[in-house]
Structure 1
Amino acid sequence: MGGPDILVTLDIALRGAGIALLLTVAAATLRQAQGRPAAWLGALLAGGAAAYAVCSSPGPHDPPLWFAPVLMLCTGNAAVFWLFAQAMFDDSFRLKPWHALVWLGLVIWPLVHLLGAGFTSHWLLGVLVRGAVIVLALLALVQTVRGWSSDLVEGRRRLRLFILIAVALHIAVTVTAELVIGPDKVPMSLHLLNSGALVAIAAIVALLLLSADLDSVLGTVTVEPAVGAPSSASPPPHPPTTAAAPEDEPADPALLATLERLMSVDRVYRQEGLTIGVLASRLGLPEYRLRRAINRGLGYRNFNEYLNRHRLADAKQALADPGQATVPVLTIALDSGFQSLGPFNRAFKADTGMTPTEYRKAAEGRNGS
Structure 2
Amino acid sequence: MTLPTLDLAFRAASVALLLVLAASLLADFRKVLAARLGAAFALGSAAHAVSYSMDVTSRVPLWHAPLIAISTGTIVVFWLFTRALFDDEFRIRWWHGLIWALVTAFSFAGCVWIAPSGHVRFSVTVVNLIALGFIVLALWQMIASWPADLVERRRRVRVFIVCAIALYGGLNAVLQIATAGHHIGTAAETINAGVLACTVAAIVYAMMRVDGADLFPAAGEPAPPRVFSQPAADASADQKLINALMRLMADERIYRHENITIGVLAGRLKIPEYRLRRLINQRLGYRNFNVFLNNHRIEEAKAALADPAQAEVPVITIAMDAGFQSLGPFNRAFKAVTGVTPTEYRRLKVDAA
Deviation by residue 1:179-215 (Cα, 9 ceiling, x = unmatched): 2320653455543443343233222212211211011
Of residues 301, 316, 322, the one that matches 1:336 is 322
Deviation by residue 1:295-331 (Cα, 9 ceiling, x = unmatched): 3444433211211111122133234434456767666
Name whichever structure is richer in helix by fraction: 2
How far the C-alpha of 1:117 sits from its partner, in A, is 4.4
Is the contact between residue 300 and residue 322 of structure 2 (CA under 8 Å) also seen in structure 1?
yes
How far the C-alpha of 1:281 sits from its partner, in A, is 3.4
Partner of 2:169: 171
Rate the CA distance shift 1:325–1:128 in 2: closer, same or farther, 3 A: same
Rate the CA distance shift 1:142–1:58 in 2: closer, same or farther, 3 A: closer
- What are the within-5 Å matches in structure 2 for residues 237-256 of structure 1? 238=224, 249=228, 254=239, 256=242
What's the TM-score, normalizing by structure 2? Answer: 0.78
Partner of 1:213: 211
Deviation by residue 1:221-245 (Cα, 9 ceiling, x = unmatched): x3x74xxxxxxxxxx6738xxxx9x
In structure 1, distance between residues paired with 2:348 and 2:101: 44
Would you say 1:155 and 2:141 are equivalent positions?
no
> One-letter code of the match for 2:204?
A
Partner of 1:279: 265
Rate the CA distance shift 1:77–1:318 in 2: closer, same or farther, 3 A: same
Of residues 116, 119, 130, the one that matches 2:128 is 130
Root mean square deviation of aligned Cα: 3.7
In structure 1, distance between residues paired with 2:104 and 2:257: 48
> One-letter code of the match for 2:99?
V
Is the contact between residue 305 and residue 342 of structure 2 (CA under 8 Å) also seen in structure 1?
no
Rate the CA distance shift 1:331–1:104 in 2: closer, same or farther, 3 A: closer
> One-letter code of the match for 2:132?
I
Is the contact between residue 78 and residue 138 of structure 2 (CA under 8 Å) also seen in structure 1?
yes
Of residues 7, 14, 18, the one that matches 2:14 is 18
In structure 1, distance between residues paired with 2:348 and 2:87: 31
How far the C-alpha of 1:91 sits from its partner, in A, is 0.7
Rate the CA distance shift 1:14–1:256 in 2: closer, same or farther, 3 A: same
Is the contact between residue 51 and residue 68 of structure 2 (CA under 8 Å) also seen in structure 1?
yes
In structure 2, distance between residues paired with 1:88 and 1:272: 24
Partner of 2:141: 143
How far the C-alpha of 1:157 sits from its partner, in A, is 0.9
In structure 2, distance between residues paired with 1:72 and 1:33: 27
How far the C-alpha of 1:166 sits from its partner, in A, is 2.0
Partner of 2:180: 182
Rate the CA distance shift 1:211–1:13 in 2: closer, same or farther, 3 A: same
In structure 2, distance between residues paired with 1:171 and 1:265: 49
Is the contact between residue 54 and residue 179 of structure 2 (CA under 8 Å) also seen in structure 1?
no
- What are the within-5 Å matches in structure 2 for residues 301-320 of structure 1? 301-320=287-306
What's the TM-score, normalizing by structure 1? Answer: 0.75
Would you say 1:77 and 2:74 are equivalent positions?
yes
> One-letter code of the match for 1:54?
V
Of residues 266, 272, 280, the one that matches 1:294 is 280
Partner of 2:189: 191
Structure 2 residue runs of 5 or longer lacking an equivalent are none
In structure 2, distance between residues paired with 1:101 and 1:258: 48
Partner of 2:103: 106
Is the contact between residue 112 and residue 120 of structure 1 (CA under 8 Å) also seen in structure 2?
no
Rate the CA distance shift 1:316–1:100 in 2: closer, same or farther, 3 A: same
Larger mean Cα displacement after TM superposition, 198-207 or 296-305: 296-305
Partner of 2:46: 50
In structure 1, distance between residues paired with 2:326 and 2:151: 27
Is the contact between residue 178 and residue 186 of structure 1 (CA under 8 Å) also seen in structure 2?
no
In structure 2, distance between residues paired with 1:120 and 1:259: 64
Is the contact between residue 51 and residue 64 of structure 2 (CA under 8 Å) also seen in structure 1?
no
Is the contact between residue 152 and residue 294 of structure 1 (CA under 8 Å) also seen in structure 2?
yes
